[in-house]
């Protein structure tokens, strides 16, 4: 079987552009953007932390959409369904990666800004629960037997998608009843215009990077699927030869 | 037979099987009792403190206990390949699910009915809020656990490490429901805040997930 190249020309251009964007955005964030008034240089983690959080909230939609396509195509067009499944698992893994980065950088920031690593604040808790949901999705994929992994995972993805809005709502209610201790900072109070270019470039750079990872993981999963099909085909052929 | 008849037939079969063996009810009951005792020893709570933590401990005990029973819920169907027969039967698959989930609901409610007096005695509880609301909260919370639990037990039926997988996927999905039932119970026990939003959350959660379970059960049953 001839192996397809991992990087096509588009992929190579994308990779170079992504690297350039990351370098430029990091330079803007670390060196060019003005120092934040109350937190000083430490607040520059904003340019890394917030884009990752935003993207960690975006990739679950990709996973959910791909899972719906999988369930729709499952009987009608199994080959297309497999591509949808490859998108779904890639998106789920990147959700976990970005979510982990968001949580870890958030903790670092929280330790310096609030003096604590963690607080059961609404946004932190919701993010943690989202992360838990997608880790459990990956666990299911790991533990289920080969023939049915795709379907079971797609079903769980639908459950997760319904769960997420309920989680966000309930956590908000929970926290309004038991108000969290001092909760200062956070970019919600509005970003100064001078910080906007650095922030925008960082969102763009890490989005490009996420899509690149998604495409690489998708290619990997497609290769794995093709190899599986090849093996199954060979097994069938071998059994036919035996019968003759 | 109409849809309702199918559900009733499945429900009757499960209740009868359980009546003959009483495996899951006895197991759950003793397990929940053990959790209650262990927590009581671990925290050694005063009356005021037990009102604060009682709701949480009760639901954690029930969550663990029902998980152990739910793991066994479908193994009965696997014996003698009953499940394969169920898949070929002309009855709607969601009726099979609904009957099973209702049977599990009945088992857990029985466990709650036996456990509640023990719980009150061990933790010196009396509700400061409106105690009758617990009669609404308990079935709603139980259905939230049991409906998804039955579904995920079926989902994990042919996986490796089946016993491990059920809590791994049931707990994260159930967290909003757990929060709802624990908060509602604590609200009733302490009387410090209103349980209404949490009851509404539970109702919404139950409607949403019951609908999804019924819609997707056929997919899971025939996932090959």
* Among B223, B219, B220, B218, CA closest to B92: B218
Q: d(Cα B141, Cα B187) in Å, to the nearest integer?
A: 14
Among chain A residues, the shortest Cα distance to B173 is held by A163
Question: Which position has the token pair 């049953």?
Answer: B221
In a domain, A150, yes or no: yes
Q: What is the pLDDT of residue B107?
A: 93
Could you list the beta-strand ranges (E) of A128-242.
none
Q: What is the pLDDT of residue A3?
A: 56
Q: What is the pLDDT of residues A123-147, one digit of tens each?
A: 888 889 999 999 999 999 988 877 7
B195 contacts in chain A (CB < 8 Å): none
- In chain A, the percentage of residues whose pLDDT exceeds 70 is 89
Locate the domains of chain B by residue range.
3-221
Q: What is the pLDDT of residues B39-67, one digit of tens each?
A: 888 888 777 788 888 888 889 999 999 99
Asked if residue A171 lies in contact with residue A130, where contact means CB atoms within 8 angstroms, the answer is: no
Cα A176 to its chain centre, rounded Å, is 28
Distance from CA of A60 to the nearest CA of B (A): 15
* Interface size, chain A vs chain B, as Cβ–Cβ contacts under 8 Å: 92
The SS3 of residue B105 is helix
Q: d(Cα A206, Cα A191) in Å, to the nearest integer?
A: 19
A156 and B198 within 8 Å at the Cβ level: the answer is: no
Q: d(Cα A129, Cα A123) in Å, to the nearest integer?
A: 10
A166 and B198 within 8 Å at the Cβ level: the answer is: no
Task: Give me Rg for the CA atoms of chain B.
Answer: 18
Which of B158, B160, B208 is opposite residue A162, by nearest beta carbon? B208
A166 touches chain B (CB under 8 A): yes
B223 touches chain A (CB under 8 A): yes
Question: Which position has the token pair 């993805």?
Answer: A157
Distance from CA of B20 to the nearest CA of A (A): 33
* Among A198, A129, A206, CA closest to A165: A129
B191 contacts in chain A (CB < 8 Å): none
Q: Which of B167, B176, B196, B213 to mutate to test the interface with A (most CBs of A within 10 A)?
A: B176
In a domain, A212, yes or no: yes
Q: What is the pLDDT of residues B82-92, one digit of tens each?
A: 888 888 888 88
In chain A, the number of structural domains is: 1
B160 and A144 within 8 Å at the Cβ level: the answer is: yes
* Among A41, A19, A21, CA closest to A31: A41
Q: What is the pLDDT of residue A191?
A: 67
Which of B168, B180, B212 is opposite residue A139, by nearest beta carbon? B168
Instruction: Please give the helix or strand (H or E) that residue A36 lies within, else none.
Output: none
Among chain B residues, the shortest Cα distance to A172 is held by B176
- In chain A, the percentage of residues whose pLDDT exceeds 90 is 36
Q: What is the pLDDT of residues B22-36, one digit of tens each?
A: 888 888 899 988 988
Asked if residue B169 lies in contact with residue A155, where contact means CB atoms within 8 angstroms, the answer is: no
B149 contacts in chain A (CB < 8 Å): none
Q: Cα angle vertex A82, ends A76, A85, to 5°? A: 115
B159 contacts in chain A (CB < 8 Å): 140, 143-145, 152
Among chain B residues, the shortest Cα distance to A166 is held by B176
Residue numbers of the domain that contains A92: 43-179+208-231
Distance from CA of A12 to the nearest CA of B (A): 38
A81 touches chain B (CB under 8 A): no
Q: What residues contact residue A1 under an 8 Å CB cut-off, 6+ apart?
A: A226, A227, A230
Q: What is the pLDDT of residues B150-201, one digit of tens each?
A: 999 998 888 888 888 899 999 999 999 999 999 999 888 888 888 888 999 9
Average pLDDT, chain B: 88
Q: What is the pLDDT of residue B146?
A: 94
B175 contacts in chain A (CB < 8 Å): 129, 132, 167
Q: What is the pLDDT of residue B141?
A: 93
The per-residue pLDDT string of chain A (244 residues; one tens digit each, 9 = 90 and over) reads: 455 666 678 888 888 999 999 999 888 888 887 777 677 777 788 888 888 988 998 999 999 999 999 999 988 888 889 999 999 999 999 999 999 999 999 898 888 888 888 888 778 888 899 999 999 999 999 888 777 888 999 999 999 998 888 888 888 877 765 544 444 444 455 567 777 888 888 999 999 999 999 999 999 999 988 998 899 899 999 988 877 6
% helix, strand, coil for chain A, step of 5? 85, 0, 15
In a domain, A51, yes or no: yes
Q: d(Cα B208, Cα B43) in Å, to the nearest integer?
A: 36
B176 contacts in chain A (CB < 8 Å): 163, 166-167, 169-171
B161 contacts in chain A (CB < 8 Å): 143
Q: What is the pLDDT of residue A190?
A: 59
B172 contacts in chain A (CB < 8 Å): 129, 132-133, 135-136, 163
Provide the terminal-to-terminal Cα distance of chain B, rounded to the nearest Å. Answer: 28
Asked if residue B165 lies in contact with residue B149, where contact means CB atoms within 8 angstroms, the answer is: no
The conformation of residue B81, written as its DSSP 8-state character, comes to G
Q: What is the pLDDT of residue A171?
A: 82
């Amino acid at each position: 079987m001839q192996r397809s190249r991992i990087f096509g020309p588009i992929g190579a251009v994308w990779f170079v552009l992504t690297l350039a964007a990351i370098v430029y955005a990091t330079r803007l964030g670390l060196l060019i953007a003005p120092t934040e008034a109350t937190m000083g240089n430490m607040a520059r983690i904003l340019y890394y932390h917030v884009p990752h959080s935003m993207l960690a909230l975006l990739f679950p939609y990709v996973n959910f959409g791909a899972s719906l396509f999988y369930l729709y195509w499952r009987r009608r067009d199994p080959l297309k369904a497999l591509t949808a499944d490859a998108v779904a698992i890639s998106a789920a893994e990147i959700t976990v990666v970005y979510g982990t980065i968001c949580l870890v950088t958030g903790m670092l920031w929280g330790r310096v800004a609030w003096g604590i690593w963690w607080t059961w604040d609404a946004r932190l808790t919701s993010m943690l629960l989202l992360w838990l949901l997608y880790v459990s999705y990956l666990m299911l994929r790991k533990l289920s037997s080969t023939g049915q992994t795709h379907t079971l995972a797609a079903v769980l993805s639908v459950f997760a998608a319904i769960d997420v809005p309920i989680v966000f709502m309930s956590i908000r209610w929970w926290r309004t009843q038991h108000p969290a201790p001092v909760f200062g900072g956070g970019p919600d109070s509005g970003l100064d215009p001078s910080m906007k270019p650095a922030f925008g470039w960082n969102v763009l750079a890490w989005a490009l990077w996420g899509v690149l990872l998604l495409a690489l993981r998708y290619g990997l999963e497609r290769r794995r699927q093709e190899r599986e099909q090849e093996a199954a085909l060979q097994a069938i052929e071998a059994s036919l030869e035996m019968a003759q | 037979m109409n849809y309702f008849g199918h559900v009733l037939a499945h429900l009757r079969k499960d209740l009868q099987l359980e009546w003959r063996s009483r495996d899951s009810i006895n197991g759950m009951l003793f397990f929940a009792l053990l959790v209650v005792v262990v927590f009581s020893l671990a925290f050694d709570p005063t009356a005021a403190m037990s009102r604060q933590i009682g709701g949480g401990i009760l639901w954690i005990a029930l969550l663990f206990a029902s998980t152990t029973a739910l793991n066994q819920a479908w193994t009965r169907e696997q014996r003698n390949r009953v499940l394969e027969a169920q898949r070929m039967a002309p009855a709607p698959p969601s009726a099979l699910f609904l009957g099973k989930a209702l049977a599990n609901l009945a088992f857990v409610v029985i466990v709650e009915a036996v456990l509640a007096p023990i719980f009150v005695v061990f933790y010196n509880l009396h509700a400061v809020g409106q105690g009758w609301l617990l009669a609404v909260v308990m079935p709603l919370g139980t259905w939230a656990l049991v409906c998804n639990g039955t579904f995920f037990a079926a989902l994990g039926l042919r996986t490796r490490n089946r016993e491990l997988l059920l809590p791994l996927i049931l707990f994260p999905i159930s967290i909003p429901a757990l929060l709802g039932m624990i908060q509602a119970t604590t609200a009733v026990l302490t009387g410090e805040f209103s349980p209404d939003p949490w009851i509404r959350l539970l109702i919404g959660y139950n409607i949403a997930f019951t609908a999804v379970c019924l819609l997707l059960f056929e997919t899971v049953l025939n996932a090959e």
